[in-house]
Amino acid sequence: MQFKNSYFVIEVLKTGGKDYSGNDPIIITEYNLLKAIKYNILLSFGEFGLALSLGSL
């Protein structure tokens, strides 16, 4: 069995402190960023991919 490290790069764009609808300010905290990363891993790779990545986050 071979272990491979995989990396992904993210880009955070802050649009003047407002979301795209212009309603609520965007507050970037460690919790919010981690939550967004987990959500996107879940969408892209499913529950199994999310479970594998949790040890690295």
pLDDT at res. 45 = 87
Number of C-alpha atoms within 13 angstroms, CB side, residue 33? Answer: 10
- The Cβ-side half-sphere exposure at 28, using a 13 Å CA radius, reads 10
* pLDDT score for 55: 83
Per-residue pLDDT tens over the stretch 12-55: 776 655 556 666 666 778 898 899 889 988 998 899 989 988 88
Average pLDDT score over the chain? 78
Task: Provide the residue ranges of all domains of the chain, joining segments of one domain with +.
Answer: 28-57
Tokens encoding 34: 């981690």
